[in-house]
Amino acid sequence: MIKKMLICIYSSIFILALSILITAEVINSHPDTVQQAIDDQFNEIKSQLEFDGLTGTVKKISENYSKEYDGYSNLIITNEKGDILYKINSGYVSEKNRFLVLVDPWQASGYGSDIAYLIDSNNSIRYLAQIDSSHNINRLKEDSSRNSLSTVLFPRIQDTDDYLGNKVINNSDGSSYILSIETKIVMKYEYIASKGLYLYALHDSEHEYNNYYLFTDSINTLRHWLIIFTIIFLAISWILLPLWVFKDVQKQHLNAPLWIMITILLNVVGLCIYILFKTKNNRNSIDCKKAPVNERIMCPHCGKEIEIEIGTDTPVDH
């Protein structure tokens, strides 16, 4: 009975351990899959705009792109004047038909600006965004350099790296905006030169890869319970295994306290040592119950069978 229970328990532990490894691998590999899918969709939108302009295909891909964040994202396409030609959702858009962005125009060539300011047509700052990726950003720099707000946001001479945190910008509507480099808004940017279009994709970092996090939360919960059950089964096996060894040791007439102690300390490793020792011990001993009592040999003189009792030289019958 104990032996069958141990087989079931160790089989369960093996399956649980394998499941834990598989779920860990799924969690580790899944972010790359999600990230690649999102990047591929954004690049597809960019390519479609470059060759075909704003088509139904672009709108369809844009909708799928937004779904990757469970709808908590916005994709905006404007002309060079900032007029909105198409958008998914209305997040981070302060005006119905306008979307304007300022970046640091004085940053060294070849480097994308890290921070973008989303402003309205009155040069009032509405949002601050962290640029995740950008191409052809020089066009955005040129537009920013011509804006009067740019000289306030991006002075040519910077004494410290934290100068942005020490300024307050008064908006035209009377509100104020404290400059900071901290934001939860993430933005991708692309300038479609052949069509004169600006492509923006924005989302809140709290909803970044939302589907992924829902998935991984479920997997992590599953892994949590798998680990708990594994520990429980290991604890049970640590109790049952010495009991089984104790019963078997008694049959073998071996040192019971010694082997029980070894099994308690080493568990499965101790069991393997015990099995190896038992096999070697049985190989070097004779099972008296199965040994023959009598042995028959042939008489070298007459050829008749002679029965000799084991342990003596006396023929039983001739």
Q: pLDDT tens per residue, the chain (318 residues)? A: 777 777 787 788 888 888 878 777 766 666 556 677 788 899 999 999 999 999 999 999 999 888 878 788 899 999 999 999 999 999 899 899 999 999 988 876 544 458 899 999 888 888 989 888 888 888 888 889 888 888 887 776 554 444 444 567 777 666 666 666 678 889 999 999 999 999 999 988 776 655 555 566 677 788 788 888 888 888 888 888 888 888 888 887 778 888 888 888 888 788 888 888 887 776 665 444 444 544 555 565 565 666 555 555 555 555
Buried b (16+ CB within 10 A) or exposed e, 170-200: ebeeeeebebeeebebbbbbbbbeebebbbb
Q: 185-192 and 125-135 as β-strands: parallel, antiparallel, unpaired?
A: parallel
**Both structure tokens of 281:** 């011990």
Answering whether pTM is above 0.95, one says no
Angstrom distance (rounded) from CA 316 to CA 74: 106
Residue 276 has a pLDDT of 84
Residue 17 has a pLDDT of 83
How many angstroms from the chain centroid is the CA of residue 188? 24
Angstrom distance (rounded) from CA 142 to CA 139: 5
Angstrom distance (rounded) from CA 137 to CA 143: 10
